[in-house]
Amino acid sequence: MKRPPLDPELIRDRLAVEQGKRYWRSLEELADDPAVREMVEREFPDSASQWTDPVSRRRFLALMGASLGLAGLVGCTRPTGTIMPYVKQPEHLTPGIPLHFATAMTQGGFATGLVVESHEGRPTKIEGNRNHPASLGATTVQQQAAILGLYDPDRSQSVMFRDQPRSWMSLLEILRQRLQSSNKGKGVAVLCETIGSPTLEAQRKAFQQAFPELRWFTYEPINRDQVVAAATLAFGKPLHSYYRLTNADVIVSFDADFLAQGPGCLAYTRQFTARRKEGGKGVGMNRLYVVETDVSVTGSRADHRLAVKPSEVEKLTRALAALLKIDGVAMPTLDDKQRRWIEAVARDLTQVNQAPRPAGSTAVLVGELQPAKVQALVHAINHRLGNFGQTVLFTEPLPIAQPNQRQSLEALTTALAKNELDTLLILGGNPVYNAPADLPLGERLANKLKESKTWLAVRVGEHYDETSRACHWHVPRTHFLEEWSDGLAYDGTACIVQPLIAPLYGGKSFHELLALLTPIGPEGQSYDSRSVEEIIRAYWEQSHPKDAKESFERFWQRALHDGVVRGSTPPTLVPTLLDGFTSKPEMLPSVSPESDGLEIVFAPDYATYDGRFANNGWLQEWPKPLTRLSWDNAVIMGPETAKQLGLSTRVDQWKGGEHGSTIADTISLTAPPRYSLRGVPIWIQPGHAEGALTVHLGYGRERVGRVGTKVGFNANKIRPTSAWFLTGVKVSKLNQTHELACQQAHHSMEGRDIVRSGKVNEYKPPKKHALPTLFDGKDHPYDGYKWAMAVDLSACTGCGACVVACQAENNIPIVGKDQVQRAREMHWLRIDRYYETPLEDNNADPYYHFQPVMCQHCENAPCEVVCPVEATVHGDEGTNDMVYNRCVGTRYCANNCPYKVRRFNFLEYADFKTPSLKLQYNPEVTVRTRGVMEKCTFCIQRISHARIEASRGALEGDPERKDPHGRRVQGKELPYIPDESLYTACEAACPAEALVFGDLNDVARKVGTKGHPGSEVARLRESELSYDLLGELGVRPRVFYLASLRNPNPELEGA
C-alpha cells in the first residue's frame, strides 16, 4: 500500500478547528491515521505493533505523546520573527481575543495598508488601515477577498518538477549552478510582475549587478506604460503624479475609473464623496463629468456622462484642450451633442457664475490605460487650469524602475524566438494566460519545453496555472499575508508588509528567492543567509539617517505598528511642462478609424482584475456593480448596438428569473488582423456607448483551481499589444445561447418610492408625518443603546466592498453559479442597482442608482411575528436577532420580509470539510448549516465586543466611558460607546463612508460647559434628506437612507 505523505498542514488544520469533546475523539482518529502512525513508527520502530493492540498502557502513553507532539505543530503556524500588534497590545496573546496587525497588499505595483485580524495566529479578516494614505480605513473588494486567497485550497502546495513534487533545495542547486556556469548571467532571464517593493527593487539591482548579462523583463497586462510615457512626454522625466480631489469643485474624467480602480481609488473616493454628502456640507457639492465607453462605477456617479467610442476619448480630450487654448491643439470635428457637452464642460472649468473660476479648484483625470498623448494632453489641461500642486500633485519618480512592459514582453518573445536564452525564471504574473494575442509567448515557451534539451524554465506562482504548465519547475509563492515585504502607496508613502501566518503551503517569496540566488562575498561564493525580515529591515536601516532623533529600533517598531513608514511620503513639486511638447510628432492626433466595424475596449474586471483573483469564490460570486453579473464575463454593448446586431438577452423563466438567471445570445468576435473569440455571451448595458463593445479581462482561465477554471472567456485572446482598444471588430450571432448568473435583471423601480433622488438645492423631501396607528400599547422604550445605520445614497458609489466585507466577517458561504441562477445567493448585504430615465430627455443617459440593502432591523419586524419557534427575536437594543440553532426553516420570515434580505441555506452551502477554509472562519460567528435562515445581524459580535470593552473601561474608571446622557439600564450606568469604537464590517470597508452605524440615542447635547457632539447616525437621522425605505409599511426600520443628490450643470440640463 502506498502511504500518502505526511501532511503537517492537514494535521494542524484538524487540530486548529477541533475543540472540546471532539478534540479527544479526533485525536484518537488522528493517532490512527496512517501518516501519524508512520511518523511514530519512524521514531519508535519497536513499539509500532502497539498500535494494533486495542487498549494498553503503552497506547495511552503514545496518545499522550502524540497530543504533546501535535500541540507543537499548532505552534508552528505562528509567523517567525517579531511582528507588532496593532492598536491592542496585550501582554501576551489571550485566547479568544483577536489581535490586529498592520500589513499591506500590493496590486499593480502599489500598496494599500491593511490591518488584519488574527485569531490565535490565524488571520481571519482584512480591514483597511486608517493611518495609511491609500486606505484611510477602507478597502477594495479585492483586498477584502484576499483573505480567502490565503486559504485557497487550490494554491500550489509544493515545489514541483513537471508533475512530481521535488525538494526546494534541489531546485535551488540547479538554479545556482546555471547562474554560476553562465557567463555573468548570459542566457538567463527573469520575467517578473510589476515590482512594488523598494527592497525587492534593491535586490533586483544587486542581482543584476552580480550577473550583468542577465536580462530582466517585466510584464503585467494592466500596467503604467502609458502613464510613464505621458509624464516623459510632458515633463521630460517620469514624474509620479496623483490627485487630491478635496478642493476640486469640478472634476472631469476622461475614462478614469478613479472611484473603483487603481492604487488611489479608496482615497479618491473618500475625497470625492466628502463633497457629495448632504449637498457638500457647507463647502458646496462638487460636479463630476465623465467621458467613457462602458458605464463604470465612476461614470455611474457622474452628474454628466458622455458615452463615446474608445477612439473618441482622445477627440474629446483634444477638444477640451483646444477650448482651453492650449498651444498646438486643433479643435477636432465633433458631433453636435459632443460639442455642446465639451463646451459646457470647458465653460464650467473656467467660469463660475460668470466670473473666472479660481485656479486649482478643478481636476481633470485621465485613465491610466489611455494613450500617452491623451494623458500628456491632460497634464497640459491641468496646467492651464492651475491645478498643478493643488489637485494634481507630482513627486520625483518613485525609487522603482518602470520599464515599458509592453516592449519588455516583446523583447522576451523575440529573445525566445532567437534562442538567446536557456534559463527563464518567471516570478508571479501569469504571462502565458494574459499576454496579448499577438505575442505568442505561451507557444514559444511550450516549444522550448518540448524541443530544447538545455532549456530550463522555473515559475514561482500561487497556483499551478497556465504559465506553470509551460515551465519545468513550479515553486509555490507566498501569499502577501505569509511574507515580509514592503511597498509604496499611490502617493509614494512607504509601508512594511508583515506576515500574519507562516506559509501554509511552504511558499517562497521573491525576496527569499533573489537573496538565495544572489552571491555575496568577495568571491561570490556564499549566499545571503538572512531571513526576509532581516533583509527588509536592513534595507530600511541603511536608509535611516544615523543622526535621527529616533533610534532605528523605535522607528522600525513604529513602522510595523502603524503600517506606515513615517515621513516617507515624497515631497510634492510643481513641475514645468516642456515647451511646446504639444506639437511634438508623438502628440499628433490619431487617425480616426474607419467606420467599418465596431470598436472594442478592454478593461480590468471589477472582481477578478487581470485574472489573478479568478479562483476566489467570494469575488466570483460578487455581483459586479453595474451588470450585477457573477461567475462570468460578457461582451458588453449598448441597447442600440445590440438591436442592430440582432442580439438580445432574456430572463430565464425556469430558474430564478430576473433574480438570478439570464439567457444571453452568444456571438463570435473577429478582430483584425486575425484574432477571434467564439461563443462568448453578450450583455446589454444601458448607457454603454453605441458602436462599441467592452470586454473584461480576468476570465477564461484554463487552469487555476476548482473555482476559477473555465469560467467565462479569455479576452486576451483578441487583445493586441499596441493599444487598449481595437477597431474594425466584426460580430456575428451564433445559434447557441449562454446562461448568465445575473443577480438583478430588473432595472426599473416601477415608479415606487425606493431611491429618492434630486438635484442639490432643488430637492424637496416629501413631508414627514407620523403614520397613523391603531396600536395603543406601549412601545419598547429603547432607553439604552439604540443601534441604527444610515446609508447615504449620495455617497455610495456601488463599489461593493461592503458586500465582500460582510461575507468575510460573517462566514457567509458561496453557493456557486447554478445556485445563484436559482436565486439563492447568500449575501447578507446586497447593492440594488436601478436605472432611471431622466424626466427631461428620454434619450439621455439614464441615472444609475445604487442602494445597499441589508436587514433593516425593523422595530416592528414582520419576520418576528410569523416565526413559529421564536428563532428570530428582537434584542432590547433594537437589533433583530437570528437564533440559528432554534431555526427550523419554515422560510415564513423570508416571505414576510418586505426587503427580502433574509437568506436561506437551501442546501449545505457552508464548507465544513476543506481544512484550509475552516481556518478562515470568524470564530465569533456561527457557521450555519443547511435548513437555517440567516441575515444581517448588524455585526452583533462586534456590538457585543464593543459593549464588553466599554463595560471593562467603565469598571476601570475610564472617564471616556462615562455616558454623557446619564443613561441607566436596569439600574446600572450604561458605559458609553462612541462611534470610533464600533464599526460594522460593511461600514469599516466603505471608502465613501456612506454607511454610518451607531447609537441613535447618542444625540448631540450640552454636557456641563462642553458640547457633546453625539453620534453621526443620530445627526443624520435628523437630516431632511433621511427617509425610511418602505416606511409606509409601518415596520419602522432602523436602517434609513439619505436621498441621493446630483449637481448637474444647468447648461446641460434638459438637453
Partner 1 sequence: MAQAPSQSELQEGQIIAPGHSFGTITDKIGSIVQARRTPKRWWTGFLIGFTLMMLLFLTIGNLLARGIGIWGNNAPVGWGFDIVNFVWWIGIGHAGTLISAILLLLRQRWRTSINRFAEAMTLFAVACAGLYPLFHMGRPWFFYWLLPYPNTMELWPQWRSPLIWDVFAVTTYATVSLLFWFIGLIPDMATLRDRSKWWIGRVFYGILAMGWRGSAVHWHRYETAYLLLAGLATPLVVSVHTVVSFDFAVSIVPGWHVTIFPPYFVAGAIYSGFAMVLTLAIPLRKMYKLEDFITDTHLDYMARIMLTTGLMVAYGYGIELFMAWYSGNVYEKGLIANRLIGPYRWFFYALIACNVVAPQLLWFKKVRYSPWTLFVLSLIVNLGMWLERYVIIVVSLHRDYLPSSWGMYSGTGWDWSMYLGTIGLFFACLFLFIRFLPVISIFEMRTLLPEAHVHTEKEAKP
For position 853 contacting partner 1 by CB under 8 A, the verdict is yes
Q: Coil, strand or helix: which one is 866?
A: helix
For residue 742, the minimal CB distance to partner 1 (Å) is 11
CB of 883 within 8 A of CB of 873?
A: yes
Q: Pick from 32, 702, 783, 870: which binds partner 1 (CB under 8 A)?
A: 870
Q: Which is nearer to partner 1, 237 or 650 (CB)?
A: 650
Q: Which is nearer to partner 1, 725 or 835 (CB)?
A: 835
Residues 806-825 that bind partner 1 (CB under 8 A): 819, 822-825
Residues 644-683 that bind partner 1 (CB under 8 A): 651-660
For position 851 contacting partner 1 by CB under 8 A, the verdict is yes
Q: Which is nearer to partner 1, 120 or 876 (CB)?
A: 876
For 747: left if phi > 0, alpha if psi spans -120 to 50, otherwise beta; the answer is: alpha
For residue 623, the minimal CB distance to partner 1 (Å) is 11
Q: Which is nearer to partner 1, 136 or 684 (CB)?
A: 684
Per-residue contact string for residues 902-941; x = within reach of partner 1 by CB under 8 A: -xxxxxx--------------------xxxxx--------
Q: Which of 751, 849, 766 minimizes the C-alpha distance to 1026?
A: 766
Sequence letter at residue 469: R
For position 891 contacting partner 1 by CB under 8 A, the verdict is yes
Q: Which stretch binds partner 1 (CB under 8 A): 102-110, 291-299, 1009-1017, 1026-1034?
A: 1026-1034
Q: Coil, strand or helix: which one is 377?
A: helix
Q: Cα dihedral angle (852, 853, 858, 862), rounded to 10 degrees?
A: 170
For position 865 contacting partner 1 by CB under 8 A, the verdict is yes
For position 875 contacting partner 1 by CB under 8 A, the verdict is no
Q: Coil, strand or helix: which one is 422?
A: coil
Q: Which stretch binds partner 1 (CB under 8 A): 267-275, 489-497, 510-518, 740-748?
A: 740-748
For residue 778, the minimal CB distance to partner 1 (Å) is 17
For position 866 contacting partner 1 by CB under 8 A, the verdict is yes
Q: Which is nearer to partner 1, 135 or 810 (CB)?
A: 810
How many residues interact with partner 1 (rule CB under 8 A)? Answer: 64
Q: How many contiguous H segments (helices) and E segments (strands) does the chain have?
A: 30, 47
- Packing angle of the helix pair 510-517, 532-543 (nearest 10 deg): 80
Q: Pick from 122, 357, 830, 942: which binds partner 1 (CB under 8 A)?
A: 830
For residue 870, the minimal CB distance to partner 1 (Å) is 4
For position 857 contacting partner 1 by CB under 8 A, the verdict is no
For position 1055 contacting partner 1 by CB under 8 A, the verdict is no
- What distance in Å separates the CA atoms of residue 737 and residue 651, rounded to the nearest whole number? 12
Q: Which is nearer to partner 1, 804 or 1029 (CB)?
A: 1029
- Give the contacts of 898 (CB within 8 A, at least 6 positions apart): 862, 1030, 1033, 1035
Q: What are the cell numbers at 700?
A: 477564461
Q: Coil, strand or helix: which one is 278?
A: helix
For residue 48, the minimal CB distance to partner 1 (Å) is 40
Q: Which stretch binds partner 1 (CB under 8 A): 193-201, 775-783, 943-951, 1025-1033?
A: 1025-1033
Q: Coil, strand or helix: which one is 292?
A: strand
Q: Coil, strand or helix: which one is 306?
A: strand
Q: Pick from 26, 896, 941, 981: which binds partner 1 (CB under 8 A)?
A: 896
Per-residue contact string for residues 597-636; x = within reach of partner 1 by CB under 8 A: ----------------------------------------
For position 686 contacting partner 1 by CB under 8 A, the verdict is no
Q: Which of 595, 709, 687 minimizes the C-alpha distance to 638?
A: 687
CB of 665 within 8 A of CB of 645?
A: no
For position 39 contacting partner 1 by CB under 8 A, the verdict is no
Angstrom distances, CA of residue 434 to CA of 330, 467, 701, 746: 37, 10, 9, 34
CB of 802 within 8 A of CB of 789?
A: no
Q: Cα dihedral angle (734, 738, 740, 745), rounded to 10 degrees?
A: 60
Sequence letter at residue 335: D
Residues in the chain: 1055
Q: Which is nearer to partner 1, 144 or 905 (CB)?
A: 905
For residue 904, the minimal CB distance to partner 1 (Å) is 7
Per-residue contact string for residues 741-770; x = within reach of partner 1 by CB under 8 A: ---x-x-xxxxx-x----------------
- What distance in Å separates the CA atoms of residue 252 and residue 1049, rounded to the nearest whole number? 13
Sequence letter at residue 867: C
Q: Which of 73, 30, 66 minimizes the C-alpha distance to 47?
A: 66
What phi, psi does 1037 have (nearest 5°)? -65, 150
Q: Which is nearer to partner 1, 572 or 872 (CB)?
A: 872
- What distance in Å separates the CA atoms of residue 286 and residue 305, rounded to the nearest whole number? 15
Interface contacts to partner 1, rule CB under 8 A: 651-660, 744, 746, 748-752, 754, 819, 822-825, 830, 832-834, 851, 853, 862, 865-870, 886-892, 894-896, 898-900, 903-908, 929-933, 1029-1030, 1033, 1035
